[in-house]
Structure 1
Amino acid sequence: MSEILPSGEPAVRVLHGFVSRDGGLNLWAEDGAPGALAKGGRGVPWHPSAVPATELPAGERREPALLTLPSTGAGPLPSPQVGVPPRRGVRRPRVWRVPAVGVPFVDADLAAEFDGRVAPAVRWLIELCGFAASLVRRGRVLPGVRLDGPRPAAHWRPVLIGADAARHATLLDRMPPACRAETASGAEARPVRPGDSTAEVAGAGELLTAALERLVDGLARTRLAEAGVTLAGDGWLAALTGEPGFDAPHDELDELIRALDAWFAQAARGAEVRVCFRLSDPREHEPVMPGEVPLPNDAWRLEFLLQAADEPSVLVPAADVWRDRFAPLRRWTAHPQERLLAGLGRAARLYPALGDALREAHPVEMILDTEGAHGFLSHAAVLAEAGHGVLLPSWWQRGSGLGLSLRVRTPEPIAHVLRDRTAGLRDLVDYEWGLALGGRSLTSDDLADLSRAKVPLVKLRGRWVFLDPERLAAGLAFLSRGGGTMTAGDALRVTRLLPPEDLPLPVTDARGTGWLGDLLSGELDERLELIDPPAGLTGVLKPYQTRGFSWLVFMDSLGLGACLADDMGLGKTVQLLALLLHRRDGPALLVCPLSVLGNWQREAERFAPGLRVRVLHGADRADPASLSVGADLVLTTYATAVRDADALAAIDWDRVVLDEAQHIKNSAGAAARAVRRFPARNRIALTGTPVENRLAELWSILDFVNPGLLASAHTFRARFAVPIERYEDEEAAARLRQATRPFLLRRTKADPGIAGDLPSKRHVRHLCGMTTEQVSLYRAVLDELLERLAEPGETRRKGLVLAAMTKLKQVCVHPALLLKDASPLPGRSGKIDRLEEIVDRALGAGESVLCFTQFARFGGMLAPHLAARFGVRVPFLHGGTPRGARDTMVDEFQRARRPGVFLLSLKAGGTGLNLTAANHVVHVDRWWNPATEAQASDRAFRIGQRRDVQVHTLLCLGTLEERIDRLLADKGVLAERVVGSGEGWLTALSTSELRDLVALAPEAIVD
């Protein structure tokens, strides 16, 4: 696994935990830089990444544990917390031996002793221990007897009712699979996978019960010892504080158990109804009935109620209890008045102010002033933890929401900016800090009211709020810094992306005037002024395209780079051309893949014939400096941009635009380094996939359009990539969305404003049989592979596997592709027979077909066969097709009046082309990356398509194609991350796993 660690990163150690069958808590650790997998030997193998027990937090040494963990033939899978890509291969549960220590209790301090990361299983154990400590602290335990040992044993057991029962159920439902991974010696391995529903797994409930009872018993004994409580004697009572084991005659033991069970049942029934307190602020008072005295304007009402613990919605006011109106509670208790008084008495020990109410014969409520209300709110958590119901105003649950506010003032109004283009990230703006509450800035009068408040509970702008005195003091001290000036770029960084570490409070309200105010407030989408398309644009923009064009104009007018990340087929090209027509202050450079260079020429001629377009490409290309003179748009490819980087960097471009910007996703690559050198007033990126695998790709694109705005790659990785990718940190993800929203416009085909403009796309998988010739060739390739792998000393395993995979896929397509003998195609392949059926039906219905293959040699054989079979011209576009010829092919296919067939290689024709004349797409062979195939399918499924699109995928039944397709379907949108973009992951499989994957099923042959 060491070869897949990110370069330059130290090994990461991860602390794991599990529950043993007797309820004990255990810890073990994994090293991100494992040793070699032990070979040979007998018994259960050692986990190659396991950390020795001596390096674990202090605990009791135990025998090495046997854990069932997700694995492949190459070894156990690294846990996600290690931060390396998962090992590829067929996953199966396998038992591994790990050094472990047993611990009586797990908390954050214990976990902090370990120099590394903490896995979810340990965090769950910490939560479980906290729950057990809470039960003991609140007295939610009763004594009992255990009969699972050689002698009866006294123990303390938890009483789980009401909220505690709900919390117990939540813990069970959230138990990580790793917590129940221990396997008895010789037991059959059982699957342990992330995403398992633990509540349905046999044994999970028993493990949780055993662990909770063991924790409660140990904690109760510790608390009694700390309090100096010792029960004398040698029987059961003494065993509750001393040694658990005791002796008793059978008849006495049976009687004791019956009595304790009855006590436990009575306690559970008595706890089914509890006292509940409901606090209402002065504005929530009910209308006064005739004859009643109204409450003062600042009076708070604290009502007493009885509540069903397992049905919190059942509430009976104390007044009705005393009037014998407690019908809703009869199901739970027959003595509600006793329950009310007893509950109030217990609560008074925690909240002494209740003593005044208990002096009354029939206590119903308390009327409090603001200071008294604050006193109750301060005790609310203690009362709730003790098992009482507590209902508080909704604003209390939201907290104070105290933060910093920032006000900025741009020197020029937006109209002046748009006219004279004087704005930019380097512009100085005036700023002033303030305090905000709930996202609203506090005025000087508000601050004066806060300073006069005697308690943290204050009424501000007609609503009650609670302010933490320490946070308020820190915020007020920060305001003493005053205001000043900063650049517009700094204002964006401070408020949206990288708040300085010394800010005492988060920035919750950022506003300003002009363009910067729109960006800071996040209200650009609502306030964006739509601009009419330029006069030179031939064609009508759709509403969402007009909005995208207007957004590009707005960003361009400010000198801010922009990333237009619309889905493929939504018209990024026409939106960019409209921008180029809107304002031309010099030559613009557009860099794109070779496959779409001609498409940009054609689209410019079609939508913007007034643009002067030049092409920088080919061996005899002109000098870039002379080519740019008098040009509005210079088109070039990424390869040419790298070769001519020096010459292109010497030109002052008005705009530099990257199409298919994912080509610079590797910030250290040659293309990314080259385009960053090109000077430009403004930069724009066009891409349908701003993030393919890692967030570093998004940073590379956005750092191109606005250099430095997202800070360095290292800072971005620490603040966002690591928390989001490794720990699924939702807060970090939200901050990243907020930070990138001003510079990235992302629309998908599923968006409500766009979906109505597109037809539907339907996927059909065709399972094709194989002919006798295909089956015999498939078996021959498979036998040769297994025979070579069995040879001793074979060192070219990876090459053998990859070569065999290619041959097996070729056999599935057609024997002639493997044999390379140019033999005739008809009647020898189940796939070709099915392809002919699909094409025949499509042409008969007057519809055209796109046909993709990754084998260019086979395309050369298939094109004349289809042309002869259906009497139509079948062009074949592949990587060796000259640019002029490919442009002609696309143009003729799009303009053809008769339905036709267009054959393309997947690499050359899979991106950038607009082929909406076809509404059938056929993938003859599998390119085991769903994203690549989806891009190819979207050549037809894009703006301009008026018919439903059908995507046909041909698979050979009972072969590796069907099995891998099933794997991709199971993994869904993450499939490309699991199996990669090719067949390389197959080389990690063991020989037996390969045999299972590529074996030929009996149903494969249909000849």
Structure 2
Amino acid sequence: MAILHGSWCMTSKGSFFLWGETWRRVPSESFYSEAIFPYPFALNDTELLTQPLLKNIGLSNIPSQQIIALPTDISESGKLTPIYSATTNIPKSYLYPWQITGIRLNPQQAFQFLQSLPLNTVITSDSDLGEDLRFWSHIARWSLDLLARSKFLPGLIKQSDQTIISQWQPLLDSAIDQARLLRFAQQMPRVCRVYQELIAGDSLAINLPLSAQDIIINFLSVIIDQQVRNIAKEVDQKAIVSLPIWQKWLKSLGEKENTINAELTEIESLETTLKNWTAPLQYSLSEQNLFSTAFHLHPPTEYNPNWQLEYCLQAIDQPEFIVNSNIVWNHPVDSFNYRGRTIKHPQETLLKGLGLASKLYPVIETSLQQARPQSCSLNPLQAYEFLKSYAWRFTDSGLGVILPPSLANREGWASRLGLSIKAETPKLKTNERLGLKSLLNFKWQLSIGGQTMTKAEFDRLVAKESPLVEINGEWVELRESDIRSAKIFFSQRKDEMTLSLEDALRLSTGDSQMIEKLPVVNFEAGGKLQELLNTLTNNRNSEPIPNPKDFQGELRPYQARGAGWLSFLEQWGLGACLADDMGLGKTIEFIAFLLHLKEQNSLENPVLLVCPTSVLGNWEREVKKFSPTLKVMVHHGDKRAKGKNFAKIIQDKNLVITSYPLTFRDEKELQGVTWQGLVLDEAQNIKNPDAKQSKTIKNINASFKIALTGTPVENRLSELWSIMDFLNPGYLGQRLFFQRRFAIPIEKYGDTDSLKILRSLVQPFILRRLKTDKDIIQDLPEKQENIVFCPLTTEQATLYQKIVDDSLAKIDDAEGIQRRGMILALLV
């Protein structure tokens, strides 16, 4: 498997060097530390361009050379042994320069390529991303975030030849961005810092690693300049002759040519104008201070009914490190040490932050009239206004904000006014089953801050007419919209409220839910519902079924658990996806499950199994081998039953096996039968929800549905949605909702929160075990390998050699891209 690498090179115009490596045996002739050699693990240009991630973006760049200092084992005799990047136990090594062939991307190509990289861990079966490429894909997304927040400024770079270069520069003035820069600089892979300039002659030397912050800022500067220019050039501009220098500069910010010729006096005048314009930001632009001004909001106390906004300094890289203003005012020095850290320009930093804050939030201006301002008093409405409208502005402007813990996460629902629900399953009639849409018995109460309340207690809170209320020593927000929803709920809708098993499952997995516009802030399940939810969320510990009496064989422990899991979901009328690794016996588990139903006298109607045409015979043989008592019929071929005859023939059958193509050819016959179960083998065949085959299969009604597949997701999350929509229709929402809520955030932006929620939602219905799992491998027999050689016959060898010779002759005569294409055609 190939590993793709790449990093930003700080050249004059900036470039991104892309290369790859794959493990191969190092040539028997040894490398000695006398010269720079080609890196033996590197992919050549043809191999690199055929990688799946690069084929899709159509790169045709000319191969380029780059010297990179990579970990190398150097013996006492000078023998070099390069270390493959995927090596786990790396021996003591040194950095040694190697020559690598790759592709050099310009800034626009680099931006598009990095944006195309998914942030999930597994890319394809043929290639993977090195940690350096993953790192830069995150930096590229940060540049998008800066562009979306308009965090950039126009600037200029003065050259020695009386010219200036106009450039858009990133503005990292907020505490979030400054902390992000520090964190990214600390996390930058070492290989990103050891790209070397091409060395003239045979001299052996490597430069010291570059500054991580310098590389990141250079990348952001070039990429943001490129992207803003692409937008600015679309703005219509009239050509004016003899423009003043500042107008020329403004015009050049939207053009490809960014060099301006001017007189020295004009350059100095423009430079002064820019400095005056950006004066409020010069401190952030010129120096990356590790401390920023912060504002700590304290709730009322027994002796003070007002809120206090305390002024202090906060460490950007360690938010819990606080220096109160009293300590700052007592140290009128350029720097001082406090609790093991050096604080530079403490009073200047605090005053600059207070000055900026007063422009954003004029309420604090009065407190700044003091010689040594330390805090500002706020009434409850002012405190709420600060919390709701100004805290985020402070943060976005580089100021720190510290809130009480219960108010810090305003987006969370734990401290909001909402519903606390206790639910359990209703009493079921004989042979009645629950489904995802089945309604549950439940009780509800209003809750805020983790405490339930009665209607009278709610009325008392509302009567205070304060947006911030104290509940058991914690301050919580009482939103006007939640109060309105609660009043409407009490007066009109409380008796119409319903809760389904699907709702309960979503709530138990942490997915946010609203009922009558009120959030569900707490959910408890009781009785059999609790047992169901526990089993669903921990499906690996399902109760195993005993070995069926008529089963010709012995189930392994994990197979018995798998069949038991299928039986459990069938009892509740829920769809199941058995996604065990290839070779673990999904076929055996399903056959044992059917026999178990038959032994329980629960197999009343036939089960339809749909599989690829190529395995129809294999399924029939496996069923007859392991369960000869099951009545099985293969529905296939020209002589297959049709119409009413089909329904008559299958009446006494337990299992009917057919192929995917016949599901829409014999649509009427299959949809006219009352099936007890519908099972899809190789369920990825319905991964395209728009295919006629997928739509037809989803229209076949059955009491339970099972999907058997070793690859529930091959390329896109939409494939998972299609399988889940077959098993439990509507559970993951409509297709467009799923795309917006999960697929796009996860695939395009690497949203780990959405991924976590999606995983928790589908995990109850997907059972996937691998051969390498600890609880599986101990149940497997020792691996046996039989090597069987299959030599070519004389005729085959002659034909093969003739094709090779003819192809090589044609390749020798070809040139350029045609030659590469012929080599690729010969390989595949």
Normalising by the smaller structure, the TM-score range is 0.5 to 0.7
Go from structure 1 to structure 2 and tell me whether the alpha carbon gap of 1:211 and 1:527 turns closer, same or farther (over 3 Å shift).
closer
- Whether 1:589 aligns to 2:616 is no
Equivalent in the alignment of 2:312? 305
Does the CA contact (< 8 Å) of 1:274 and 1:389 recur in 2? Answer: yes
Go from structure 1 to structure 2 and tell me whether the alpha carbon gap of 1:406 and 1:317 turns closer, same or farther (over 3 Å shift).
closer
Mapping for residues 775-790 of structure 1, pairs under 5 Å: 776-782=801-807
Shift of 1:577: 3.2
Mapping for residues 503-902 of structure 1, pairs under 5 Å: 504=517, 524-525=537-538, 530=543, 532-533=545-546, 536=549, 544-580=558-594, 581-582=596-597, 583=600, 584-591=602-609, 592-593=611-612, 596-597=615-616, 600=619, 604=623, 608=627, 611-616=629-634, 625=647, 628-638=650-660, 647-666=669-688, 672=694, 675-676=697-698, 678-706=700-728, 736-737=758-759, 740-751=762-773, 753-754=775-776, 756-757=778-779, 776-782=801-807
Go from structure 1 to structure 2 and tell me whether the alpha carbon gap of 1:171 and 1:153 turns closer, same or farther (over 3 Å shift).
same
Equivalent in the alignment of 1:207? 222
Shift of 1:91: 7.5
Shift of 1:152: 8.4
Does the CA contact (< 8 Å) of 2:506 and 2:761 recur in 1? Answer: no
Aligned-partner Cα distance in 1 for 2:355–2:654:
85
Aligned-partner Cα distance in 2 for 1:128–1:271:
23
Equivalent in the alignment of 1:127? 146
Q: What are the superposed Cα offsets for residues 702-753 of structure 1, whole Å, 9 maximum, x if unpaired? A: 4443456666667766766666666766666566545544544344445554
Does the CA contact (< 8 Å) of 1:589 and 1:653 recur in 2? Answer: yes
Aligned-partner Cα distance in 1 for 2:314–2:805:
75
Aligned-partner Cα distance in 2 for 1:259–1:342:
16
- Whether 1:86 aligns to 2:56 is yes
Aligned-partner Cα distance in 1 for 2:290–2:105:
46
Equivalent in the alignment of 1:448? 459
Q: For 1:412, give the aligned amino acid.
A: P
Shift of 1:578: 3.8
Go from structure 1 to structure 2 and tell me whether the alpha carbon gap of 1:346 and 1:492 turns closer, same or farther (over 3 Å shift).
closer
Does the CA contact (< 8 Å) of 1:275 and 1:344 recur in 2? Answer: yes
Q: For 1:401, give the aligned amino acid.
A: G
Aligned-partner Cα distance in 1 for 2:545–2:739:
40
Equivalent in the alignment of 2:324? 317
Does the CA contact (< 8 Å) of 1:429 and 1:488 recur in 2? Answer: yes
Q: For 2:586, give the aligned amino acid.
A: K
Aligned-partner Cα distance in 2 for 1:453–1:86:
61
Does the CA contact (< 8 Å) of 2:707 and 2:727 recur in 1? Answer: yes
Aligned-partner Cα distance in 1 for 2:266–2:615:
91
Shift of 1:534: 6.2
Equivalent in the alignment of 2:99? none
Tell me the matched-pair count.
Answer: 648
Equivalent in the alignment of 1:481? 493
Which structure: larger Rg? 1
Mapping for residues 224-243 of structure 1, pairs under 5 Å: none
- Whether 1:327 aligns to 2:297 is no
Aligned-partner Cα distance in 1 for 2:264–2:371:
49
Go from structure 1 to structure 2 and tell me whether the alpha carbon gap of 1:669 and 1:311 turns closer, same or farther (over 3 Å shift).
closer
Go from structure 1 to structure 2 and tell me whether the alpha carbon gap of 1:169 and 1:629 turns closer, same or farther (over 3 Å shift).
same
Question: Which residue of 459, 476, 480 maps to 1:469?
Answer: 480
Does the CA contact (< 8 Å) of 1:22 and 1:210 recur in 2? Answer: no
| SS of structure 1 residue aligned to 2:569 | helix
Q: What are the superposed Cα offsets for residues 667-710 of structure 1, whole Å, 9 maximum, x if unpaired? A: 56676566556553322222222233444544443444345666
Aligned-partner Cα distance in 1 for 2:502–2:520:
14
Q: For 1:127, give the aligned amino acid.
A: L
| SS of structure 1 residue aligned to 2:607 | strand
Q: What are the superposed Cα offsets for residues 268-305 of structure 1, whole Å, 9 maximum, x if unpaired? A: 579665443334557xxxxxxxxxxx964977665443
Q: For 2:727, give the aligned amino acid.
A: V
Q: What are the superposed Cα offsets for residues 479-537 of structure 1, whole Å, 9 maximum, x if unpaired? A: 64334276948858998999999975766666666777777899643898736536537
Aligned-partner Cα distance in 2 for 1:409–1:516:
8
Aligned-partner Cα distance in 2 for 1:212–1:641:
51
| SS of structure 2 residue aligned to 1:207 | helix
Equivalent in the alignment of 2:432? 421
Instruction: Report the more deviating stretch, 147-156 or 733-742.
Output: 147-156
Shift of 1:356: 6.9
Q: What are the superposed Cα offsets for residues 854-878 of structure 1, whole Å, 9 maximum, x if unpaired? A: xxxxxxxxxxxxxxxxxxxxxxxxx
Does the CA contact (< 8 Å) of 2:486 and 2:518 recur in 1? Answer: yes
Shift of 1:146: 4.2
Go from structure 1 to structure 2 and tell me whether the alpha carbon gap of 1:327 and 1:759 turns closer, same or farther (over 3 Å shift).
farther
Does the CA contact (< 8 Å) of 1:405 and 1:508 recur in 2? Answer: yes
Equivalent in the alignment of 2:818? 991
Aligned-partner Cα distance in 1 for 2:285–2:105:
45
Equivalent in the alignment of 2:42? none
Q: For 1:995, give the aligned amino acid.
A: M
Shift of 1:587: 3.8
| SS of structure 2 residue aligned to 1:530 | coil
Q: What are the superposed Cα offsets for residues 215-252 of structure 1, whole Å, 9 maximum, x if unpaired? A: 9xxxxxxxxxxxxxxxxxx999xx99xx9977659999
Go from structure 1 to structure 2 and tell me whether the alpha carbon gap of 1:165 and 1:297 turns closer, same or farther (over 3 Å shift).
closer
Does the CA contact (< 8 Å) of 1:510 and 1:520 recur in 2? Answer: no
- Whether 1:401 aligns to 2:412 is yes
Q: For 2:337, give the aligned amino acid.
A: A
Equivalent in the alignment of 2:401? 390
Q: For 2:496, give the aligned amino acid.
A: G
Q: For 2:434, give the aligned amino acid.
A: A
Q: For 1:660, give the aligned amino acid.
A: E
| SS of structure 1 residue aligned to 2:476 | strand
User: What is the root-mean-square deviation of aligned Cα atoms in Å?
Assistant: 6.8
Shift of 1:556: 1.6
Aligned-partner Cα distance in 2 for 1:662–1:249:
67
| SS of structure 2 residue aligned to 1:552 | helix
Q: What are the superposed Cα offsets for residues 621-676 of structure 1, whole Å, 9 maximum, x if unpaired? A: 78755654544344455567677665555543322323223344455667656655
Shift of 1:585: 3.3
Q: For 1:658, give the aligned amino acid.
A: L
Q: For 1:557, give the aligned amino acid.
A: Q
Go from structure 1 to structure 2 and tell me whether the alpha carbon gap of 1:519 and 1:459 turns closer, same or farther (over 3 Å shift).
farther
Does the CA contact (< 8 Å) of 1:431 and 1:483 recur in 2? Answer: no
Shift of 1:444: 3.8
Shift of 1:451: 1.7
Shift of 1:464: 2.4
Equivalent in the alignment of 1:821? none
Does the CA contact (< 8 Å) of 1:159 and 1:268 recur in 2? Answer: no
Shift of 1:128: 3.7
Aligned-partner Cα distance in 2 for 1:553–1:212:
56
Go from structure 1 to structure 2 and tell me whether the alpha carbon gap of 1:422 and 1:271 turns closer, same or farther (over 3 Å shift).
closer
Shift of 1:199: 7.8
Aligned-partner Cα distance in 1 for 2:264–2:271:
12
Q: For 2:146, give the aligned amino acid.
A: E
